[in-house]
Amino acid sequence: MHIHILGICGTFMGGIAAVARAAGHTVTGCDANVYPPMSTQLEALGIQLIEGFGVEQLELEPDIWVVGNVMTRGKQPIMEEILNRGLPYVSGPQWLAENVLHDKWVLAVAGTHGKTTTASMLAWILEDCGLSPGYLIGGVPMNFEVSARLTESPFFVIEADEYDTAFFDKRSKFVHYRPRTCVLNNLEYDHADIFPDLTAIETQFHHLIRTVPGNGLIVANGREASLDRVLARGCWTPVERFGFLPPSPSGGGAGGEGATVMEPPTRNPPSLPHPGPPPEGEGERRWRARAVNESAFEVYLGDALQGRVAWELLGEHNTQNALAAIAAARHSGVPAKDAIAALGRFRNVKRRMEVKGAARGVTVYDDFAHHPTAIATTVAGLRSKVGEQRILAVLEPRSNTMKLGVMKAQLPGSLAGADRVFCYTGGIDWDAAAALAPLGAKTSAHADLDALVEAIAAAARPGDQVLVMSNGGFGGIHDRLLERLGRP
């Protein structure tokens, strides 16, 4: 089959292209901006790329046009001509579901935050334990170095996004995936460009829950009232919760230092393409964590100690992501102790607190955080690592929600843990300086990127940690800042 992907350079559609190519299909594609790194990754796979959305691409005569959600009515000539001629087209999620996922044991990771990291952890656990999963993730796991792959394994891990599917299918992408194992990390208001309120997002999450079979598993954050409401609408699948408070550290007895490791029988051997029903009397299980120090925590299933994760990741949010990944992996047959050992070898995801370099004693980080909750969590995670060293937070409000200014009132609270705050205002039409005024004199806003770089460089001093947060490329600010810091 020849598929032509409209909007191929996005992370998700580029992942579909890689998976389709691995499945033996002829793949071509186009996008408004064809540039590295996605362009070079796709070209290395032998995928022809075309810049723009001109009607001349109709001469390719593919068997199917796969439409990314960058496509809209009335703006791209090729889309209008596809509709006018009655040519066959399909959304990316639907094509993936019908051609790749239909015979797979799908492990889907959904939630407002942590999808990419948790899906990467889960894929790595399965890989490290010999299950060789396929996966499609909205980032690049450092253990794999590519964002998507297809294997012969029955297991497929996918980052399950709640954003809408396409201009002709306004359901969330994740309703197409039909997961057997479903992680619900958290649920907050986001995507203000397509959802009017939190209730509308909760409805989409409930649509997802309705697709999970009775012999599957839902792994849900036990601290989220929004997820409780979603599950209360109706759930026909066993649920395991995570995120409860840790057991008492008192010695001896269940849950103490002397707790016995109780690994339940593997209920879904990896050799089986589909799981059987949960064991009799198993009931709802609760996964908990107890911090040992900044780089280690203990994992409990109920009151039974399962083992200790020792790693380099920061923050309570990553501990919760790990609990979800361990629970999901166990459903596919991986004992908790093996998942815990695998996480000790997990190397995180690119653009998640990734060190881009250091100059003049100043360390520059890159992070994908763009929602106030994620921003606050990221700042807190870095604070736990650097202690009293100054944190210079640099924010680009680039997501559709942030551009609309819907959450601008939450920004001061999310950035309160930083010592200095710099905000790039190019591309937004609300007053960032006024929004950040509650933080006082430690903030500044800049519409010009060069001026922003100069302001950060002037403020930085040896020992500072510059935390750059954006869900886009931010004009290459990391390299520009490092170069500027390196000059006298």
For position 177, what pLDDT does the model report?
Answer: 97
Final residue belonging to a domain, choices 320, 343, 366:
343
- Contact status, residue 6 vs residue 71, Cβ threshold 8 Å: yes
pLDDT of the residue at 73 = 93
* Per-residue pLDDT, 37: 67
CA dist 270 → 157, 267, 304 (Å): 14, 10, 24
Q: Which two tokens stand for residue 298?
A: 């203990």
CA nearest to 359, candidates 462, 247, 260? 462
pLDDT of residue 244: 64
Do 113 and 230 fall within a single domain? yes
Domain CATH code at residue 482: 3.90.190.20
Integer CA distances (angstroms), 196 to 107, 193, 404, 411, in order: 29, 8, 12, 20
Q: Using the 3D structure, point to which of 92, 114, 134 is the last residue of a domain.
A: 92
- Domain membership of residue 269 as a residue range: 100-343
> Last residue of a domain, which of 324, 343, 362?
343
Length of the chain: 488
pLDDT value, residue 6: 97
- Alpha carbons 56 and 374: distance in angstroms, whole number: 42
3-state secondary structure of 152: coil
Residue 149 sits in a domain whose CATH number is 3.40.1190.10
CB atoms within 10 A of CB 139: 19
The predicted pLDDT at position 381 comes to: 80
User: From the centroid of its chain, how far is CA 98?
Assistant: 23
Give the number of other Cβ atoms within 10 Å of residue 264's Cβ: 14
Q: Are residues 331 and 465 in the same domain?
A: no
Q: Is 320 left (phi over 0), alpha (psi -120 to 50) or beta?
A: alpha
| Helices and strands counted in the chain (H then E) | 15, 23
Alpha-carbon distance of 226 to 221, in angstroms, equals: 10
End-to-end alpha-carbon separation of the chain, Å?
57
Residues 137 and 79 in one domain: no
Same domain, 300 and 161: yes
Q: Say which DSSP state 246 is in.
A: P
User: If you ran DSSP here, which 8-state letter would residue 448 be given?
Assistant: S
β-pairing, 64-67 with 89-91? parallel
Q: Do 76 and 109 share a domain, yes or no?
A: no
- The secondary structure element, H or E, covering residue 165 is strand 164-166
- Give helix 336-343 / helix 316-331 axis angle, nearest 10°: 140
User: Residue 46's domain is classified under what CATH number?
Assistant: 3.40.50.720
One domain, residues 286 and 338:
yes
pLDDT of residue 343: 95
Q: Note whether 68 and 146 are same-domain residues.
A: no
Domain membership of residue 171 (yes or no) is yes
Into how many domains does the chain fold?
3
| pLDDT tens by residue, the chain, 488 residues | 999 999 998 889 999 999 999 999 999 999 997 766 677 788 888 899 999 999 999 999 999 999 998 999 999 999 999 999 999 999 999 999 999 999 999 999 999 888 899 999 999 999 999 999 999 998 778 788 788 999 999 999 999 999 899 999 999 999 999 999 999 998 888 777 788 888 999 999 999 999 999 999 999 999 889 999 999 999 999 999 998 654 444 433 333 322 222 233 333 433 334 344 344 334 467 999 988 887 889 999 998 999 999 988 877 888 999 999 999 999 999 999 999 999 999 987 777 778 888 988 999 989 877 788 888 888 888 887 888 899 999 988 877 777 777 778 888 888 988 999 998 888 778 888 888 888 888 998 888 889 899 999 989 999 999 999 887 778 788 889 898 888 77
By three-state DSSP, how is residue 13 classified? helix
Asked if the structure places residue 186 within a domain, the reply is yes
According to the model, what pLDDT value does residue 281 have?
38
Of 101, 83, 76, 89, the closest CA to residue 15 belongs to: 101
Q: Quick one: pLDDT at residue 284?
A: 60
Query: How confident is the model at residue 39, as a pLDDT?
Result: 77
CB within 8 Å of 189: residues ≥ 6 apart? 195, 197, 198, 201
- Closest by CA position to 93, among listed 188, 178, 29: 178
pLDDT the model gives residue 245: 54
Same domain, 336 and 432: no
Q: Is position 348 within any domain?
A: no
What phi and psi values does residue 160 have, to the nearest 5 degrees? Answer: -100, 100
CA distance 480 to 457: 10
Q: Does residue 400 share a domain with residue 273?
A: no
Task: State both tokens at 478.
Answer: 């990391």
Same domain, 229 and 294: yes
Q: Given this model, what pLDDT does residue 473 score? A: 76
**272 vs 269: CA distance, rounded Å:** 6
Co-location of 312 and 424 in the same domain: no
Are 198 and 226 in a shared domain? yes
CA neighbor of 188 nearest in space, from 223, 237, 157: 223
